[in-house]
Amino acid sequence: MERNNILSVQQSRDSDFIREVEEASGQNVSKCYQCGNCMASCVYTFAYDYPVTQIMRLIQLGQRDTVLSSRSIWLCANCQACTTRCPNNIDVAQVMEALRIMTRQADTVSQPDIQAFYDEFLRSVKTFGRVFETGLLPVYNMRVKKPFTDFDLAPRLLKKGKITFFPALVKNRKKIAEIFEVTKRECFSKAGKARPEPLSSKTDT
């Protein structure tokens, strides 16, 4: 397993970066006083290149390139443990979400396989009204160029009824697809062009 990087601040400070992250996330990152509660709560600290506390500090220091190319952003499971335990009521998980969106815009996604999973999961929900695993997995595998990953599990899962050959018929699938469109429109109309592109926008079929 790769280890956390040593925090070193080498880039010149990008003073616009913290403002952009605060606008995108709606959170006051400046209030973070580095208590470390978020890092201590995070189950993925062992796998991150920069623990979440350091991500917050790097944002304060305007280290745009380091933050937007970090592995941590895409390994984050959005579990909210950091948010729950922050004594300053910073929604840290929301900051991580905003950073993921910003990396898409900057084209610096460090974990394209994870991005592909997000995209295909949302595309499946938008199309079928709920995720259709049997359709999702082959498409995802092809997209990440690992066509046979977990293929051997399919017969057992089918036999146990965990997955099905055909998607479930969810009522009002069109309404669910509309939620994606409305969410996308609202994101842009509320915050204007400066607002990062919503995740679902790249799942359009």
Residue 78 or 164: the one with the smaller Cβ distance to ligand SF4 is: 78
User: Nearest distance from residue 51's CB to ligand SF4, in Å?
Assistant: 9
Residue 85 or 173: the one with the smaller Cβ distance to ligand SF4 is: 85
User: Nearest distance from residue 20's CB to ligand SF4, in Å?
Assistant: 18
Residue 93 or 137: the one with the smaller Cβ distance to ligand SF4 is: 93
Residues that bind ligand SF4 (CB under 6 A): 32-38, 41-42, 44, 52-53, 56, 76-82, 86-88, 90, 92-93, 96
User: Nearest distance from residue 15's CB to ligand SF4, in Å?
Assistant: 20
Cα–Cα distance measured from residue 8 to residue 45, given in angstroms and rounded to the nearest whole number: 18
Residue 45 or 124: the one with the smaller Cβ distance to ligand SF4 is: 45
Q: Are 201 and 181 in contact (CB under 8 A)?
A: no
Residue 86 or 137: the one with the smaller Cβ distance to ligand SF4 is: 86
User: Nearest distance from residue 89's CB to ligand SF4, in Å?
Assistant: 8
- The three-point CA angle 5-8-11 to 5° equals 120
User: Nearest distance from residue 100's CB to ligand SF4, in Å?
Assistant: 10
Cα–Cα nearest to 91, from 103, 79, 101, 100: 79
